[in-house]
Structure 1
Amino acid sequence: MDFWENLWGTIWFFFWTFAIISYFFALFGVIVDLFRDRQLSGWAKAVWFLALFFVPFLTVLIYVIARGKGMAERSSKESREYQAQTDQYIRTVAGTGSGATEEITRAKALLDAGTITPAEFDALKSKALSSSSYME
């Protein structure tokens, strides 16, 4: 074997590897979309699965052409729902007024209003700072 045969063999190997990996991504995308689609009946899903089993490449191609827009819409909708859930979770976990900074700010406002003395402010500040060091 000479250099050019090795080069072309390597190029074809990478081409076919890329094609096969791309096909499997598309196949799993179709399977995930079948489970995600709530408007498609169970019988229609079964027919698509049988077609995927017997004629996989052609079925993936037809599915992406026929239902590609719906695939994108369902994927986008699910991403927005996950993002909203994540944002809601972050808001509940982060909360407000639970950190040492917030406690010190409230104590400073009380000190400025004359409600507490500087000694009481120092005590509240040291208590807030000591309790936050356990959290970290």
Structure 2
Amino acid sequence: MDDYPLLNIFATMMWFFLWVVWLMLLFQVFGDLFRDDTVSGWAKAGWSIFVIVLPLLGVFVYLIVRGKGMGRREVAAMRERESRYYEAAERRAADRTTGQADELTRLADLKNHGELTPEEYERAKAKVLAI
């Protein structure tokens, strides 16, 4: 430990942190590039080569040229995912309500035909409504 001073440890941690940030930024750029349907295949290939051959310059140029649209596309994708989530939640709630109504109708028929006692019916009904 004597041959690696504290300041070098901090410098190593800083470089490691910058490397992780760089990788996150690189993945964000590639993710945005390949999710964007308005960009042709040739343009995607060109941007990819530019970012791979000259990584620092390529990412910064990409952020300057397409940065504003990058944010808009991300917000649009988040809104679309949110709307799909709420639609699925509404469908599940409707299915659950319909399922409860069907089950209660079936229990009422069983009670009316004498196959369930009133106590059994009330217990089963409470069980269905508790779900």
Q: What TM-score do you get using the length of structure 2 for normalisation?
A: 0.75
Match of 2:114 in 1: none
Opposite residue 39 of structure 1, the aligned amino acid is T
Distance in 2, matches of 1:24 and 1:89, equals 34
Deviation at 1:93, TM superposition (A): 1.0
Match of 1:67 in 2: 66
Q: Pairwise CA RMSD of aligned residues?
A: 3.0
Contact 2:51 2:59 (8 Å CA) reproduced: yes
Return 5+ residue gaps in structure 2 as ranges. Answer: 109-116
Deviation at 1:40, TM superposition (A): 1.1
Opposite residue 82 of structure 2, the aligned amino acid is Q
Opposite residue 64 of structure 2, the aligned amino acid is I
Instruction: Give the paired residue count.
Output: 118
Deviations 1:53-74 (A, max 9, x none): 2111210111111111111000
Distance in 1, matches of 2:118 and 2:99, equals 18
Change (3 A) 1:123 1:50: same
Work out whether 1:82 is the aligned partner of 2:81: yes
Work out whether 1:25 is the aligned partner of 2:24: yes
Q: Is the partner of 1:94 in helix, strand or coil? A: helix
Q: What TM-score do you get using the length of structure 1 for normalisation?
A: 0.73
User: Identity percentage over the alignment?
Assistant: 32
Deviation at 1:127, TM superposition (A): 2.0
Opposite residue 125 of structure 2, the aligned amino acid is A
Match of 2:35 in 1: 36
Distance in 1, matches of 2:122 and 2:83, equals 36
Q: Is the partner of 1:78 in helix, strand or coil? A: helix
Deviation at 1:35, TM superposition (A): 1.0
Opposite residue 53 of structure 1, the aligned amino acid is I
1:40-51 paired onto structure 2 within 5 Å? 40-51=39-50
Deviations 1:104-134 (A, max 9, x none): xxx9xxxxxxxxxxxx87554322224467x
Distance in 1, matches of 2:2 and 2:100, equals 70
